[in-house]
Chains A and B, each alone.
Chain A
Amino acid sequence: MMASSYSAKDEDGHITVSGPGGGTLRNKKPENTAFKQQRLPAWQPILTAGTVLPAFFIIGLIFIPIGIGLYVTSNNIKEFEIDYTGDDTSSPCYNCAQNFSWNNTKSCTCIIPFQLDQPYESNVFMYYGLSNFYQNHRRYVKSRDDSQLNGNIDSLKKPSKECEPYASVDNKPIAPCGAIANSMFNDTLKLFYNDPNGTSVPILLTSTGIAWWTDKHVKFRNPGGNNANLTAVFQGTVKPVNWHRPVYELDTDPENNGFINEDFIVWMRTAALPTFRKLYRIIQKNNNMAPTLPRGNYTLVVDYNYPVRSFEGRKRMILSTISWMGGKNPFLGIAYITVGSVCFFLGVVLLVIHHKYGNRNNSANISN
């Protein structure tokens, strides 16, 4: 081919003096880097039958055994639950529940007999459970002063306004302040084993070791350090409205009194859901070979202080053994088995679909 050039550009030879690129001609060629040219090395995964179908089978094959394991473990856990709300006239706690008033300083006691059909091996955990109790309500959750609970003297004397309306009474600060502390669970539960020979043996309930380590050692601290005289430290504060005793009289053990009382700490760890259980006591395993709680008749003695009927709540006492994965939890095992099976099944279905209808040879379809 032939060509020649007559360029219109030549006509204005003088024009580039002030033009945009006129002065210094710098090479504007973009750099040839993989990043700028979008040629970075990259892994480009594609969902092919070869990767997806095995994935389904693998998920299935992993989930089903785990599920079975979980289910079996969960089934081996023994759990006993007793509702002592006292709603029902037949309930031993009916009278206590009926006669309740906040001003009543004398506690009401009810005795509930029950029977364990199986012996409880190893450590047994004793829980109290509440239902319809909204510990997760926004106003409830924020109604506390962590600084006060952490032993800050200033906060002790002047609780945060988050605690309102449980921050002070007659201008005296409440310690511990807030709605959570104020509503602390204060029933006392005792267990007695009714020996077949007729005697009633009290069962030793350990009240420590029931809170988180961080709560006990970091988050909650008594003002003035651990060895101070709590009565003096809390001088000038008042107890929460609903409490029978001030915070420094919760326990006689100085390691479990004041803000670091574990019952208190457990209560202060608010529950996520309106029906919850909290660890109350631990029944330690005996040294001998006998089960911790042998089969037989027991008596639960309740100091009934905590009113729940006003908001249709329920109170329960739960005894449970535990495994590596915690307490009884059948859902997890069933869910794993179900998901695993569904995956496996899906894998099979997809395999069939892929073989019957799938586009395995796609390159032939490319056309413009």
Chain B
Amino acid sequence: LFCFQILRKEERRVRANDREYNEKFQYASNCIMTSKYNIITFLPVNLFEQFQEVANTYFLFLLILQLIPQISSLSWFTTIVPLALVLSITAVKDATDDYFRHKSDNQVNNRQSQVLIRGSLQNEKWMNVRVGDIIKLENNQFVAADLLLLSSTEPHGLCYIETAELDGETNMKVRQSVSVTSELGDPNNLASFDGEVVCEPPNNKLDRFSGTLYWREKKYSLTNQNMLLRGCVLRNTEACYGLVIFAGPDTKLMQNSGRTKFKRTSIDRLMNTLVLWIFGFLVCMGMILAVGNAGWEKEVGSLFQSYLAWDTPVNNFLFSAFLSFWSYVIILNTVVPISLYVSVEVIRLGHSYFINWDQQMFCSQCNTAAEARTTTLNEELGQVEYIFSDKTGTLTQNIMTFNKCSINGQSYGEVTDPLETQPKRLDFTPFNPLADPDFCFYDDKLLESVKVGDSCTHEFFRLLSLCHTVMSEEKSEGELVYKAQSPDEGALVTAARNFGFVFRSRTPGTITTTEMGRTVTYSLLAILDFNNIRKRMSVIVRNPEGRIRLYCKGADTVLLERLHPCNQEVMSITSDHLNEYATDGLRTLALAYRDLSEDEWEAWSESHRFADKATDCREDRLAAAYEEIEQNMMLLGATAIEDKLQEGVPETIAVLSLANIKIWVLTGDKQETAVNIGYSCKMLTDDMTEVFIISGHTVQSVRQELRSVWLCAHCDTAGRRGGGVGKQLHGSPPPPPLPLSNLMDNISGEFALVINGHSLAHALEADMEAEFVSTACACKAVICCRVTPLQKAQVVELIKKHKKAVTLAIGDGANDISMIKSAHIGVGISGQEGIQAVLASDYSFSQFRFLQRLLLVHGRWSYLRMCRFLCYFFYKNFAFTMVHFWFGFFCGFSAQTVYDQYFITLFNIVYTSLPVLAMGIFDQDVPDHRSLEYPKLYEPGQLNLLFNKREFFICIAQGIYTSVVLFFVPYAVLSNATQSNGVPLADYQTFAVTTATALVIVVSVQIVLDTGFWTVFNHVFVWGSLGSYFIIMFALHSQTLFRIFPNQFHFVGSAQSTLLQPVVWLTIALATAICIVPVLAFRFLKLDLKPQLSDTVRKHTKTQRKPPGQGRLGARGGSRRSGYAFAHQEGFGELITSGKNMRLSSLALASFASRHSSSWIDTLHTQTVHTVCFSGENTKTVIKKKKNFTHTVFLSQNASVTSGSLQEATYRLMT
């Protein structure tokens, strides 16, 4: 057994259908337990966990101290009541959470699955499935454990899975069994299967698996392609059989469900520092008082022994001082009350709910409300200085719309005046029953032109319907679903579809379309596929009449060079149109065709075949062959596709940059696209002094470029100021360790920086990063394009490291996760790219524009409230506690408390907790629309002005001042005063009641001053707390309670006796005035002489009550620059012509078999699917955006063929 244990660490052995053998290894069963407790263990385990928190342990320690009678200066309940309250609140929360985990565990564990036991299929609960079992999965079932796929009902042992729950990717993936096992087929054969799998031990790598299957003396290697992982769902596969390799906690799903790193806010960190300081302060106070005690006991106490003997163990003044120190630690501990942490959590929870409840962050289209997934970061939202944003899906919708086109020199899609009349959306249905109802176009001239039968227009749309690599799926007659590999293509084909040129289906050799209601089948002769160098794609088709034509679409720059000279006139007009479209930020393509004669085709076909078969330089040869035929083309026109920005993006960016938040766009897109988007979302403007582009490939060139940017920025600035600084700097490297703040001050022009992924890799190296940061931060906008997910995180880390600023990362895709996790705050856009980014994020919502509300409204309020809360809280507790310190000097440093012990117990949790909580939750300085109107209001948060060490010292100074007043005013008044019946007022209980009442009134008046927004809750809480103080005090001092527990309620009658005395009330009024008047005067002066923007806005709002300004930021303006963008990705043509990707689902078979048009699916049926197996390691990374598994497979194949580099593939993943 021992050697098995060792084996288990390095490898895992699983023998099919042999439970006895597998049990020897003691593999985990398939029962999962995410819950932490059961009924018996809940209390001990939960308490153990809670006492791991330093604060709780500290209070436990205090509690133990209080149980020592010589030390105990307070009753045990003064600590245990708040502690129990805190512990039970947390315990209740933990218990509820765990209950739901139990429920979901039970639900999952009790799911049914069919297990092959002794040759027959039996239903078993998931939790009873063992490693080595063979289980049967049916369509749409969840995979119960990590399985080795043995066989499936689909040909070639293929099956399709959806991994959304595992990695958030919504596209389907294909898995294939090892060929030998795929032949086993039915349960009878499988029951006798006794292969043994040796594989790696459980790990959390979702995209890796390596193992070997030993069966019948042969070895078969296993990869991730053979595995079905728990959490996936079987799709479009009737059934399949799998061998359980990892079960329960060993599955990759469970291995991945590690706890995420706990993020702390800067306020948290500051608070922890301050709490430590306060502990230090507490110890100092204790020391001072202990020294005082030593002196007192030596000088006075020893003489006083005839009246007051020392406690039994105490025999000298030093020991007494030692005990006194601990006694004072106990009574002064309320400077850091346990309720601080609980209150902070409650406030944050409240703020999170406000975020979740905000209607203005609710997207009705996708029915998603904003969600604060982490409740602990809210106030940091008010301090953000840097935003790192993804582009696709975040700034843009990742929806391409066919916006304009130019056909034969005629531009369509112009709308004369969009503001005055709402243009009518074209209705295609009467004209074309196959039209996509979601497609919108507003220019009826184009439709007219199609109807009239303009040949150019027809040819234009014919091209669009033929020249692409889109797949179609026709679920029922006329209900077409296009599966495009890039949204651009999808938009173009859909446009053609609506204008009467409907792409219906394709086989490897044919394309079937419905042209103006007539079904036409073209034979597809060749696809000249797209790649980044060619920037164009073509198809060569033969129409039913036998004419051969090449259709080409591509980037205008490339395509216009390859036109027939006779196109000159059209070309110049089209070129103008193209410029216009680019100006509008549209993605343009030029379209052209060329007629080929049979001979030309034959000749070229031959050379193409030859190039294709070449073993060396195949790529180059193919490119040359393509180049050869794509000449002398006739220009048809151009299309313009809008990469739709999300709603409100430019406005949001403008507002955020007014709030002094720097926005960096980190995208996997190409430079042109990124810059284009940068302009359209107003990050880059034509007003900018300069937009620098860094695209060097070597360390030297990047450094050189960075320096020139730096120099340029500074020379320019220096030049403007008329200084000669620039001259000195010229030619010499800039001093990189220049203080960054100075640097920022020195820049006056507006610069933007665009940096490429490969340059960024160099810039992020240790010796250049400081230079990069200083240069980048001098620029107003920074766009990093073609960056990998890792680089995104590196950039975030870089800023975190060098700028000590709060960073926020926002993104929607799996490629943004690293960045989301490493930034202080991660925001996930719950868009179309799965939920993985959302799962990793701290906040999620569905529109980028909600970011401004999240930061400027919720974040700002949260920060303000938290700061005000903390200031008041520290003030309050110092005022409360320090009275004991002063009293120490008058009571022989004996740790006698000033107040009744019940008052000490209740002060923080009853008398003063709710008003400050209400302020912390509801306070507003300016209304929400004002903070959007005046983004500058956000700045105090960034500069950390509202709560910092200075503010903290002011608060505690105020607290100490208050405590001095609260002790010495009653001292001075009461020491000689008497009641009106002659009884002196200077007894301890009267003094305690007077001081306590004065304290409660002073802190209540202070909260009245601090609260700026009096909702009904504030009123109820403030007045209620004050009322509750008197009610509870009278109750505690009542005769009834005293008669029941005479030893517990010593204060009987004190409240009545004290509060009936006018002198007492005069004392309280005096103390309150002395405490509050200076605060009032100081605040008034500050407000009057140096008003903050928020004060001004507040005052302004109050006097004017102006409705909020709307739509200050107008429509997009144009700027002249190239708008070329061609978002296609290579890797389609070959797939289609080979037909390898095509599969036959039972559903599709049924619907297609009934139709006459034998589609490519049939062809596929007979073909083997090597391609699937071929897709290599980088499939996983590449597929992210591709929505169809077939595309996935092909893309990765070609990626590995054409570039072979993972990085290249990753670039593409982010476009």
Interface residues of A (CB under 8 A from B): 1-15, 17-21, 25, 27-32, 36-38, 40-49, 52-53, 55-56, 59, 63, 66, 70, 102, 123, 125, 127, 132-141, 143, 145-147, 149-150, 152, 160, 164-165, 179, 182-183, 209-215, 218-219, 242, 269-279, 282, 307, 310-312, 320, 322-329, 331-332, 335-336, 339, 342-343, 346, 350, 353-354, 357-359, 362-363, 365-366, 368
**B977 contacts A by Cβ under 8 Å:** yes
With A4-B440, A350-B1081, A358-B1089 as contacts: A38 and B924 at CB distance below 8 Å: yes
Given contacts A138-B895, A272-B975, 14 further A-B contacts (CB under 8 A): A3-B403, A6-B400, A11-B483, A11-B484, A28-B367, A30-B362, A41-B1015, A136-B896, A138-B894, A270-B988, A272-B988, A282-B982, A339-B1073, A362-B1096
Contact digits for B1088-1127, partner A, Cβ 8 Å, 1 yes 0 no: 1101010111111011100000000000000000000000
**B441 contacts A by Cβ under 8 Å:** yes
Find chain B residues with CB under 8 A from A18 CB: 140, 162, 164-165, 233
Give the complex CA separation of A275 and B971 in angstroms.
11
The 7 closest A-B pairs by CB, nearest first: A214-B1053, A272-B991, A11-B1187, A6-B491, A2-B442, A36-B357, A138-B894
Contact digits for B598-618, partner A, Cβ 8 Å, 1 yes 0 no: 000000000000000000000
Contact digits for B224-267, partner A, Cβ 8 Å, 1 yes 0 no: 00000000010100000000000000000000000000000000
B1046 touches A140 (CB 8 A): no
B894 touches A139 (CB 8 A): yes
B891 touches A138 (CB 8 A): yes
A273 touches B975 (CB 8 A): yes
Find chain A residues with CB under 8 A from B1095 CB: 46, 362
Find chain A residues with CB under 8 A from B357 CB: 30-31, 36-37
Contact digits for B887-903, partner A, Cβ 8 Å, 1 yes 0 no: 00011101110000000
Of B195-203, B301-309, B675-683, B742-750, the one touching chain A: B301-309
**B567 contacts A by Cβ under 8 Å:** no
Which residue of chain B has its CB nearest to the CB of A309? B303
Interface residues on B, range: 35 or more
Give the complex CA separation of A327 and B985 in angstroms.
10
Q: List 7 A-B contacts (CB under 8 A).
A: A2-B440, A4-B440, A28-B369, A47-B1084, A212-B1053, A353-B1085, A358-B1089
**B1166 contacts A by Cβ under 8 Å:** no
From the candidates A44, A136, A324, A339, name the one contacting B1062 in the complex (CB within 8 A).
Answer: A324
Find chain A residues with CB under 8 A from B482 CB: 10-11
Give the complex CA separation of A145 and B1080 in angstroms.
47
Find chain B residues with CB under 8 A from A40 CB: 922, 1015-1017
Find chain A residues with CB under 8 A from B990 CB: 272
Which residue of chain A has its CB nearest to the CB of B987? A269
Give the complex CA separation of A50 and B311 in angstroms.
60
Give the complex CA separation of A140 and B896 in angstroms.
10
Give the complex CA separation of A328 and B1081 in angstroms.
33
**B1013 contacts A by Cβ under 8 Å:** yes
Interface centre among A10, A46, A278 (most CB of B within 10 A): A10
A6 touches B1084 (CB 8 A): no
B401 touches A3 (CB 8 A): yes
B1053 touches A8 (CB 8 A): no
B362 touches A359 (CB 8 A): no
Could you tell me which residues of chain B, from 1011 to 1053, have a CB within 8 Å of some CB in chain A?
1012-1018, 1039, 1042-1043, 1046-1047, 1050, 1052-1053
**B439 contacts A by Cβ under 8 Å:** yes
With A30-B357, A311-B304 as contacts: A125 and B978 at CB distance below 8 Å: yes
Interface centre among A6, A29, A42, A324 (most CB of B within 10 A): A6
B481 touches A10 (CB 8 A): yes
A343 touches B1042 (CB 8 A): no
B983 touches A15 (CB 8 A): no
With A343-B1073, A363-B1103 as contacts: A141 and B311 at CB distance below 8 Å: no
Which residue of chain A has its CB nearest to the CB of B887? A136
From the candidates B308, B358, B1098, name the one contacting A44 in the complex (CB within 8 A).
Answer: B1098
Find chain B residues with CB under 8 A from A132 CB: 300
Give the complex CA separation of A273 and B887 in angstroms.
9
B1059 to chain A, nearest CB (A): 13
Find chain B residues with CB under 8 A from A30 CB: 356-359, 362, 369
From the candidates B835, B1067, B1074, B1188, name the one contacting A20 in the complex (CB within 8 A).
Answer: B835
Find chain A residues with CB under 8 A from B987 CB: 269-272, 276
Give the complex CA separation of A271 and B892 in angstroms.
13
Contact digits for B470-487, partner A, Cβ 8 Å, 1 yes 0 no: 000001000001111001
B367 touches A29 (CB 8 A): yes
A4 touches B401 (CB 8 A): yes
Find chain B residues with CB under 8 A from A11 CB: 481-484, 490, 1187-1188
Find chain B residues with CB under 8 A from A17 CB: 140
**B1168 contacts A by Cβ under 8 Å:** no
A310 touches B140 (CB 8 A): no
Find chain A residues with CB under 8 A from B973 CB: 329, 331-332, 335
Find chain B residues with CB under 8 A from A279 CB: 978, 982-984
**B956 contacts A by Cβ under 8 Å:** no
Which residue of chain B has its CB nearest to the CB of A36? B357
B802 to chain A, nearest CB (A): 28
Which residue of chain A has its CB nearest to the CB of B1045? A147
B1042 touches A218 (CB 8 A): yes
Give the complex CA separation of A56 and B308 in angstroms.
49
Give the complex CA separation of A40 and B928 in angstroms.
12
Find chain A residues with CB under 8 A from B988 CB: 135-136, 141, 269-272
Find chain A residues with CB under 8 A from B1015 CB: 40-42
A300 to chain B, nearest CB (A): 19
With A42-B924, A70-B1066, A165-B312 as contacts: A12 and B170 at CB distance below 8 Å: yes
**B1057 contacts A by Cβ under 8 Å:** yes
A38 touches B928 (CB 8 A): yes
Find chain A residues with CB under 8 A from B418 CB: 1
Find chain B residues with CB under 8 A from A140 CB: 307-308, 894
Give the complex CA separation of A181 and B358 in angstroms.
66
Find chain B residues with CB under 8 A from A366 CB: 934, 1093, 1096-1097, 1100
With A19-B164, A29-B359 as contacts: A329 and B308 at CB distance below 8 Å: no
Contact digits for B968-998, partner A, Cβ 8 Å, 1 yes 0 no: 0101111111111111111111111000000
A45 touches B982 (CB 8 A): no
**B807 contacts A by Cβ under 8 Å:** no
**B12 contacts A by Cβ under 8 Å:** no
B391 to chain A, nearest CB (A): 15
With A14-B235, A339-B1073 as contacts: A273 and B1096 at CB distance below 8 Å: no
**B624 contacts A by Cβ under 8 Å:** no
Give the complex CA separation of A336 and B1065 in angstroms.
13
Which residue of chain B has its CB nearest to the CB of A52? B1084
B975 touches A179 (CB 8 A): no
Give the complex CA separation of A28 and B361 in angstroms.
12
From the candidates B301, B356, B832, B971, name the one contacting A9 in the complex (CB within 8 A).
Answer: B832
**B443 contacts A by Cβ under 8 Å:** yes
A222 to chain B, nearest CB (A): 14
A325 touches B1062 (CB 8 A): yes
Which residue of chain A has its CB nearest to the CB of B974? A272
Give the complex CA separation of A307 and B356 in angstroms.
73
Contact digits for B135-146, partner A, Cβ 8 Å, 1 yes 0 no: 000001000000
B73 to chain A, nearest CB (A): 6
From the candidates B300, B362, B399, B1017, name the one contacting A8 in the complex (CB within 8 A).
Answer: B399
